[in-house]
Amino acid sequence: MTASAFSLSLAMPETGFTVTAGEPVIGGLRGASQHFMCAYCMSWLFTRPDGLPGIVNLRATMLDDCAWFAPFVELWTAEKLAWATTGAPHSYPTLPSPEAFPQLIADYTQHGARPR
C-alpha cells in the first residue's frame, strides 16, 4: 500500500480511536479488512482488520507526535528487504499463530508501551 520498505502501524483499541478531522474513505484492497484513506490524497490512514474486532490499525505517522513510537513486533519478514531492520523485539516471517498473541500482549503490556 505504500512505496516504502516499511508499513508502520499501531494496533490500538477502537474505543481509544477517534477521527478528529476530515471524513476518511474506504480504499486500497476491497476485502474483509477495511483500509481507510484520506479522501483528498488517498494516503492510507488506518485499517479495521478482519478477525480483530475492536482493534484499529493506525498509521503511527498520523499521530501529532509519533517520536515515542518504537516497533514492538515486525511481521512478514520473509518478504523484507535484506537491509531493512526495525529493532523490534519480536519478529515473524508471516503472521504469528493465534497461540502467540497472549504472550505478545503480555510482553507489550509489560515492556512495549514505554517511550524510547
**Same-domain status, 36 and 77:** no
**Same-domain status, 47 and 98:** no
Query: With bands split at pLDDT 50, 70 and 90, how would you rate the model's confidence at 101?
Result: confident
**Same-domain status, 3 and 59:** yes
**Same-domain status, 79 and 56:** no
**Average pLDDT rounded to a whole number, residues 53-65:** 85
What are the residues whose beta carbons fall under 8 Å from the beta carbon of 3, sequence distance 6 or more? none
**Same-domain status, 2 and 55:** yes
**Same-domain status, 59 and 74:** no
pTM over 0.75: no
Cell of 62: 498520523
**Same-domain status, 34 and 59:** yes
State the total domains in the chain.
2
Domain extent at residue 91: 70-116
Q: How far apart are CA 82 and CA 39, in angstroms?
A: 34
Query: With bands split at pLDDT 50, 70 and 90, how would you rate the model's confidence at 2?
Result: low
**Same-domain status, 25 and 57:** yes
Query: With bands split at pLDDT 50, 70 and 90, how would you rate the model's confidence at 115?
Result: low
Check residue 24 and give its pLDDT: 92
Q: How far apart are CA 95 and CA 102, in angstroms?
A: 14
**Average pLDDT rounded to a whole number, residues 15-32:** 84
**Same-domain status, 31 and 85:** no
pLDDT at 8 over 70: yes
